[in-house]
A and B are shown apart, each in its own frame.
Chain A
Amino acid sequence: MTDIKFHKILIFINSLVPLALLGWDAFFGNLGANPIEFFLRTTGVLTLLFLLITLAITPLRKYYGWNNLVKYRRMLGLYSFFYGFLHLVTYSIFDKSFSLSAIAGDVWERPFIAVGMLAFFLLVPLAVTSTNAMIKRLGGKNWARLHKATYAAAVLGVIHFWMIVKSDVFYPLLFGLILAVLLGYRIYAASNKLKKKLAANHTNNTN
């Protein structure tokens, strides 16, 4: 087994640990007085956490030259989708008794639900196009363009978190700051690239 393959297993197992503990505590009735709320909140936080880890791969790679990191990105992104899916399913079944009209009413009356739904549905095409075959079919450039939707999903996810909080915004703020750094890095890198290009054009023209 190569190191990469082993590291993938390592990440796979570790990413399942929160779910395993949620399941364990649920089985023994140790999720607290309001188990549904706890499960909802925990899966929601995990969704955002994995989204942020996924978005940290590129900056780390570029800054430290850890190029192998990109090999783990797909799995981390899919874990974000997976926990987001559990979050939505828990909400739909337990909070809304699987009633589509109740869910629609909620989306209408409570903007934070609409924002969260939108964030999740942005992740769906990304999960669908995560296979090698799909990357080939779309072409690398198109695929990369499509997967920029991750940024929007992450921003909406943090807004969703911010809106559900009653008054203590500490955790949404923390997630928001980390996201700002991760997205800020990209803007900085893109503007640097643009500057270089302009500078190169300039020298070409004067010569």
Chain B
Amino acid sequence: MIVKNPNEIKSSEITDEKTYLNRRNFIRAGLLAGTTLATAGVYRFINPPPPKEVVTAEIQNIIQPPDFRAEEKLNSFEEITNYNNFYEFSTSKTAVARRAENFVTRPWAIEVGGLVQKPKTFAIEDLLKFEQEERIYRFRCVEGWSMVIPWVGFPLKKILDAVEPLGAAKYVAFETLYDSAQMQSSFSAGIDLPYLEGLRLDEAAHPLTILATGLYGKLMPNQNGAPVRLVVPWKYGFKSIKSIVKISLTEKEPPTTWNIAAPSEYGFYSNVNPNVRHPRWSQATENHIGEYTRRPTLPFNGYAEQVESLYSDMNLKKYF
């Protein structure tokens, strides 16, 4: 008896060469398209497009004092709100806007105390009752980039006057909110939180120094330091502390976050100074957001005329 091999393939079942090649080409085309799409997907996942713009409410009755207008072109709202250093949310400047989307900033208050006659807590509603001014300032980050931003706010001096600093008060310390439930900072962020900053009392009382409540005529977007932040235009951006909850007048120079992290790189003063080198970024030139070549950086970020006298007896290379 002939036992037929049950596994034997009938010649009629063999795929002819042409079909085989077609099928192989089909699979190959599929692999090519599939892997390309997957690679593109991974790229897009790592580099997502900016989130939808969140439009905040208009600030009413803003005045425009003529002394604080820059002749330069303003950076766009989109640029200003999608390129932020706010380590409490993310160490990636382009990720902050998305991470800060649900940041709750009401109710909010700043507690002002320390060496003052009349310690006082200012609710955000109180702060918005001060006359709101538009201040168009250059903003220079220590990382070598800059923008021109139309802030809204009022001089910090108004707060200082309200609490009446004591004679012993020489410095002003600031503190950012740190709420780990809302702010998922990277475990590897590398700085201690809450974020701390400080100014000398005369710097704090300078007419250029403001508490900013908004930009482009609207309440401060979360990613830019809602609801209220400091803006000191002649210093590197990290001095302009965001989302302030505490201001304290002190006798001694207060500790500041970046100075604690790397004292040789970030001084207490951190005035914009093209003559003081930094190991990572050129401070002689800057990349102005919206331009494709670097421009020279000006001493005190272009505010030398207004602020130079504050430092007349100081070696600014030593006290950088």
Contacts and interface: CB of A to CB of B under 8 A. Distances in A.
Contacts of A112: 279-280
Interface string A163-182: 11011111001000000000
B28 interface: yes
A94 interface: yes
B39 to A, nearest CB: 4
B39 A166 contact: no
B9 to A, nearest CB: 23
Looking at chain B's contact residues, is the secondary structure mostly helix, strand, loop, or mixed?
loop
Assign chain A's interface to a size class: 20 to 34
A37 B94 CA distance: 11
Assign chain B's interface to a size class: 35 or more
Given A97-B293, A163-B280, A170 B188 contact: yes
Contact of B287 (A9, A17, A32, A37): A37
Contacts, number: 87
Contact of A17 (B31, B36, B293): B36
A60 to B, nearest CB: 18
A142 interface: no
A42 B292 CA distance: 17
A106 B282 contact: yes
B168 interface: no
B32 A10 contact: yes
B145 A109 contact: no
Nearest to B189: A168
Interface string B137-148: 000000101000
Nearest to B47: A42
Contacts of A33: 75, 78-79, 82-83, 93-94, 289
Nearest to B28: A6
B316 interface: no
Contact of A34 (B36, B279, B287): B287
A32 B83 contact: yes
Contacts of B120: none
Interface string A82-93: 000000000000
Interface string A1-25: 0000010011001100110010000
A36 interface: yes
B66 interface: no
B185 to A, nearest CB: 9
Given A10-B32, A10-B35, A30-B49, A36 B43 contact: no
Top 10 A-B pairs, shortest CB-CB distance = A167-B190, A33-B83, A168-B91, A170-B188, A33-B79, A17-B39, A14-B39, A168-B188, A168-B189, A33-B289
17 contacts: A10-B32, A14-B36, A17-B40, A21-B40, A30-B49, A32-B94, A33-B93, A33-B289, A34-B83, A36-B287, A37-B287, A96-B294, A111-B279, A166-B190, A167-B87, A167-B91, A168-B188
